Structure formats: C-alpha cells, structure tokens
Amino acid sequence: MVTRVPEVLLRHRVRIEPYLADTAYGPTYGPAIEAVPALVDPSPRMARAPDGREFTAAATFIAAPDLDCPLGSRITLPDGRTATATTVARHTAPGLPVPACTEVTTE
C-alpha cells in the first residue's frame, strides 16, 4: 500500500499551467490548474536539469504523487513569482511506510 503525503502538510497553493509545446511564438500552455496543494521551499539552491546543465532553483515544492506537471510548465508560486518546472521527480517507496509525493524544481 502506497501512502500519500498528508494533505495537512501541503500548506501552500500553486498555480500550474501545463506545458503543451513550443510554437513560432514561444511556448504554449494548457488551461491553468488553480490552487494546487503543495509544500513550497522558496530557498534558492543549485540543481541539475535533465540535460545536465546546472541552474539556481527559484523554488522547490512537493505535491500529491499523482500531480500532472510536465517539464516546462509555468508555475505561479504563493508569493506571486512565476517560474518554469525544470525537474519533476516522483518519489515512491512501495512496501515502506513513507509517503509518496511529486517533487518539482523550478527555474
């Protein structure tokens, strides 16, 4: 049985505009998902993108394990800043009593 990160820990709300594709006019996004429960760490830190480049993360947050947040999605953080989802990691530990979650690092 996989447990989920407890909703009570997800004290913040973020807005996610799912990345769809790049066009001649720039990136396009799907309809915004409002008030997604999350636990946001606004501290800048060094991170590594899937292509190997290093960047300073604007913020990192965890959310429910079934969060749909494609790479490149536009995120509005609780303080109003907007950022781009640069890494998305699903954390599960089948058989262990630890909560599953999705971790998103933004740039």
Which residues neighbour 5 within 8 Å (Cβ) at sequence distance 6 or greater? 39, 62, 63, 64, 65, 99, 100, 101
Do the Cβ atoms of 9 and 105 come closer than 8 Å? no
pLDDT tens sequence for the chain (107 residues): 457 888 888 999 999 999 999 999 999 999 999 999 999 999 888 888 888 889 889 899 999 999 999 999 999 999 999 999 999 999 887 777 778 899 999 99
In the prediction, which pLDDT does 2 show? 53
